[in-house]
Amino acid sequence: MKLFVGLGNPGAQYALHRHNVGFMAVDAIAAAHDFPAWRKRFSGLASEGKLGGEQVLLFKPQTFMNESGRAVGEAVRFYKLDLSDVIVFHDELDLAPGKVRVKVSGGVAGHNGLKSLTAHIGNDYVRVRIGIGHPGNKALVTGHVLQNFTKAELEWLEPLLGAIAEEAPYLAQGANDKFQSRVAYVMQEEAEAPAEEEPAKKPAPRRKAASETKDKQPVAEGTLAGKLRRWFGSQQ
- Of 46, 29, 25, give the one whose Cα is nearest residue 37: 46
Active site (annotated) includes residue 19: yes
Name the amino acid, one letter, at 194: P
Alpha helices in the chain (DSSP H): 21-32, 68-79, 112-121, 141-145, 151-172, 176-192, 210-213, 224-235
Q: What is the dihedral of CA 1, 113, 20, 189, to 10 degrees?
A: -70
45-51 contacts: CB < 8 A, separation 24 or more? 46/75, 51/2, 51/168, 51/169, 51/171, 51/172
Exactly one of 19, 33, 111, 144 is catalytic; name it: 19
Q: Are strands 39-41 and 44-51 parallel, antiparallel or unpaired?
A: antiparallel
Among all residues, which ones are annotated catalytic? 19
